[in-house]
Amino acid sequence: MDKTIRIALFASGSGTNVENIANYFNGKTTAKPVCVLCNKPDAFVLERAKRLNLDSMTFNRAEFNDGKKIMEYLGKHDIDFIVLAGFLWLVPEYLINKYPGRIVNIHPALLPKFGGKGMYGMHVHEAVKQSGENETGITIHLIDGNLIKPLLFGSTRGLPAVLVLVSVVVGGRIAGLVGMLLGIPAMTV
């Protein structure tokens, strides 16, 4: 039997993406989330991680930039793949070098529109609605150090732009796209 791909989830907020991804992979043997890393000690994602029986750790900016604490934690959990599931900091080079081609980011809009500083969570959906766009979606892209031209793996399109509360609808699709990246068929939402 092939080795189960062990996933680390990085998050900064409430953790709806983390929960949806964990639920999607629950019971699957090809891949499974094993831990959550968070840069905000009061983020609700840490509560979700407890409920989902995922180990978790927090870190500050200095620890993230230094890398020692992060790399020890990832090593302890034998991590193969990293998903940025609502994580708001840029990924340092040491992580990109350690996990080449194995870090993806979930962005709650169709890039390159509605990306950059301040474009996270509901801010993205509000900006899409205010812009008059008639469709929205998500983008999952590889983190390779190239901030200008992300390598797109997949996106969902055609969600009405007026649908501001898309986390429940999009959650399954996020997990499905991450699943496709790992060779697991997408779930139907």
Nearest to 140 by CA among 182, 79, 98: 182
Sheet with 31-38: strands ordered across? 55-58, 31-38, 5-11, 81-85, 103-107, 139-142, 151-155
Are residues 10 and 82 in contact, defined by beta-carbon separation less than 8 angstroms? yes
User: How is residue 39 written in tokens?
Assistant: 């840069």
What DSSP assignment string belongs to 20-85? HHHHHHTT-SSEEEEEEEES-TT-THHHHHHHTT-EEEE--HHHHHH-HHHHHHHHHTT--EEEEE
State the CB neighbour count (10 A cutoff) for residue 185.
Answer: 8
**Token reading at 124:** 């993205």
Active site residue 125: no
Of 107, 123, 125, 141, the active-site residue reads 107
Residues marked as catalytic: 107
